[in-house]
A and B are shown apart, each in its own frame.
Chain A
Amino acid sequence: QVQLVQSGAEVKRPGASLKVSCKAFGYTFTSYDINWVRQATGQGLEWMGWINPNSGDTGYAQKFQGRVTMTRNTSINTVYMELSSLRSEDTAMYYCARSLGVVPDQFDPWGQGTLVTVSS
């Protein structure tokens, strides 16, 4: 079935960089965009941006521009989200999610989430 499987939990120091992976199963990887959404503990959902796995085109939310990079490896059906200059406020669960349209629209399915803790 269609499934997104993310890499495991990470603990990072402030100022470090983070790279989370999201591997797709059960569909043609290059046919749908992948988005990244994060959620601080007890808080709401925050969209970070998207990547087109076919072209490699990306779009980032203004808040994260300059600090986030999304890439893909089509040979292993995997996308990556890299976030640099980490600070404590980046502590959150990070989700990847497939979107179905020409632009990011509805997200289905979602990965299981990757918990990232930023602490000295």
Chain B
Amino acid sequence: DIQMAQSPSSLSASVGDRVTITCQASQDISNYLNWYQQKPGKAPKLLIFDASILETGVPSRFSGSGSGTDFTFTISSLQPEDVATYYCQKYDNFPSITFGQGTRLEIK
């Protein structure tokens, strides 16, 4: 099974900071990588799919990049409403779905 290593597990940053989260796959997954935001007590919400495509309605301060085994999720200017846990998720043609362990993001 392909494993996903997401880091860091938690992160504290100031409003306006640039925030970066990484996700590493144990094997090449091309661009089959999505990013979700989960606010406390809520269901996850899709932000980015296929590594870099912004879901409709998602603010442009969110972005994703990468392919193969190494992926990056970035918030260009952190806002108070971005406090949440962020998950990467890989998929494949098997089909098999694996989520990263999550990154808890707080405001400093």
> Footprint of B on A, CB under 8 Å?
35, 37, 44-47, 50, 59, 61, 95, 97, 103-113
Contact = CB atoms under 8 A, between A and B. Distances in A.
Interface residues of B, number: 24
A38 to B, nearest CB: 11
Interface string B32-65: 1010100000011110011000010000000000
14 contacts: A44-B100, A45-B99, A45-B102, A46-B99, A103-B91, A103-B94, A104-B91, A106-B46, A106-B49, A108-B45, A109-B43, A110-B44, A110-B45, A113-B43
A105 B44 contact: no
B43 A103 contact: no
Interface of B: 32, 34, 36, 43-46, 49-50, 55, 87, 89, 91-102
Contacts of A44: 87, 99-102
Given A50-B95, A59-B95, A61-B96, A107 B46 contact: yes
Nearest to A4: B43
Contact of A105 (B34, B45, B100): B34
Given A44-B102, A105-B32, A105-B49, A95 B95 contact: no
B96 to A, nearest CB: 7
Q: Which of B46, B55, B98 has the most CB of A within 10 A?
A: B46
A48 to B, nearest CB: 9
B95 A107 contact: no
